[in-house]
Amino acid sequence: MAELAPLIREHGRHSVLEAVRLELSDLRAQVSTGALNSVTLDSELNALPIAVERRVAQSTTCSLKRVINASGVLIHTNLGRAPLSRLAVERMAEVCTGYSNLEFDLNTGERGQRNIHAQSLFARLFARQGIDHTLTTVVNNNAAAVLLALAALAEGGEVIVSRGELVEIGGSFRIPDIMARSGAVLREVGTTNRTRIADYEKAITDRTRLLLRVHRSNFEIVGFTEQPALEELVALGRRRGIGVMEDLGSGGLVDLPALGVHGEPSVFDSLRAGVSLVTYSGDKLLGGPQAGLITGEPALVEQVCKHPLFRALRVDKLCYAALEATLLSYVREEYEDVPLLRMMRMPPEQLQSRCQSLAASALALSAQVVPALTMIGGGAAPGKSLPGFAVAISSGIIGADELACRLRNLPVPVVGRVEEGRVLLDLRTVDPADDAYLANALAGIN
C-alpha cells in the first residue's frame, strides 16, 4: 500500500509489517466468527492504513511515562516514589552520557571502588549531627540492604526480632522470607503487641549474631502495647557483645517534626541511639533515587561490602549521580531543591490559592476547594498526614470513576482519588509548573 510508505520511513519496515499482519489476523478472526460480512469487511479494509498506523503508534510508544500525581500521597510507590530534583537529573545527564570514574581512581590511574561514591557526603551530614566514625554504602533498595547485611553479619547464626515487627512490605515481601534467604535463623520473641527487653535477653545464646529492630513503617499498633526503647536494646547488645541492626525503612535526614511529621524516627535518631548498623531507602523521605543505604560502624560496613552478594546488589552510575546530587542539596541546606521536601514544606494557604485558581478553570464541571490531608505514603510515617487543600470535581453527566478514568487517559495522565462520588485533586503532590496543564485539562472535560 502506497499509504504506508511514510509510516515505513518513520518507523521501519518490520514494525509496519508486524502491524499489518496483526490487523489482518484480527480481520480474519472476525470473518470466521461472522462478525464481519462482505460489506463491513470492505469498509474495514479501506480503513486498514489508519488501523495499522494506530497499532504502530501503540507498539512504538514507551509504556513508562510521566504522570501528574494529584492523589494526595507524597511517596506513592506505584507512581515511582519521590521525584528527583532538577539537579539530580542534570547530574545524571552529565555523568552518564559519556564515561565516568565509576570504578577508576583518578589519582593512581588504577581500578577504584564504586562504593566510595557518596560516602564523604553522608559522613559530612552525620558529622554535623555529632555522629562521627560511620561509613555508608549503597545497594539497589532497602530490602536488598537488609538481605545483604544479614547475610554478611549473621549467616548461619540467629537474629532475634520481636513478633510485633515481622512486617510485610509491598508486593507480599515479608521480613521472615528475606531473613531466610540471607541464611540467618529467625528467633522470634515477645508477642504481637508486647515485647520486653527481658524477652530479648532470655533468647540470647552463643549462636546469636544480631539483635534486629524493624521499624513498623506501614502500620501502627495502638492500645495495650509495649516495646523497649532502642537505647535499651543497644545497652543489652553492648553488655552481651552483640550488634544491634535496625531496618528503618524510609530514612529521613532532616528535622521531620519541623515538616509536620511527628513520631517518625530519622537516621540520626537511630545512630545517636547507638545502633551498629541501620538500613534505609533512598527514594522515600530522603527524596533521592531508588537505593538501599547501609550506615553504621565502619568495620561492619566494610564486612558487608566484602560479601559476594554485594556485587549482585550494587547500583550503577545513574544511581550514584542522582544520589550525590541529592545529598549535595542537603549539605548546602538547599532543601527547596529536593522536590519531596519542597512539597512537604508548602504552606496550606499557598495550596488553597492554587486550588482556587484550578477550580475556576473547570467550566463544565462542579468544582469546590475542600480541606484535605496529604498522606506521606510509601511505607513511611504510617498514619501521618499533612493538612492542606484539594479540588473536588464532579459531573452531572458522568460518574466519578469515569471522570477519574478520563483524567488518567490524558496525554500526560493525571491520577487523583475518588471520595464520596467526587474526584479529588490534591495539589500538594503536584508541581506548580503543572497547574496550567491541569487547568486546561479540566476546561476541556465536558
pLDDT tens readout for residues 179-206: 778 888 888 998 878 888 999 999 999 9
Query: Is residue 105 assigned to a domain?
Result: yes
Residue 273 and residue 155 share a domain = yes
Query: Distance from CA of residue 95 to its chain's centroid?
Result: 23
Of the listed ranges 162-166, 197-201, 377-381, the one predicted with least confidence = 377-381
User: What confidence score (pLDDT) does residue 280 get?
Assistant: 95
Whole-number Å distance between alpha carbons of 165 and 215: 7
Residue 104 and residue 241 share a domain = yes
H-type alpha helices, 293-398: 298-305, 309-313, 317-331, 339-345, 348-360
Residue 404: which CATH number? 3.90.1150.180
Instruction: Determine the structural domain holding residue 166 and report its residue range.
Output: 86-337
User: What confidence score (pLDDT) does residue 133 get?
Assistant: 92
Average pLDDT in the chain: 90
The total domain count for the chain is 3
User: What confidence score (pLDDT) does residue 223 get?
Assistant: 57
Query: Is residue 436 assigned to a domain?
Result: yes
Residue 171 and residue 288 share a domain = yes
User: What confidence score (pLDDT) does residue 220 get?
Assistant: 60
Mean pLDDT of 32-59: 83
For the whole prediction, is pTM greater than 0.75? yes
Phi then psi for residue 214, to 5 deg, are -115, 120
Residue 348 and residue 253 share a domain = no
Residue whose cell numbers read 468544582: 367
Residue 255 and residue 134 share a domain = yes
Nearest to 134 by CA among 248, 327, 297: 297
Residue 276 and residue 357 share a domain = no
Q: What 3-state DSSP class applies to 70?
A: coil
Strands 208-214 and 243-249: parallel
Residue whose cell numbers read 551498629: 276
Residue 352 and residue 284 share a domain = no
Query: Is residue 81 assigned to a domain?
Result: no
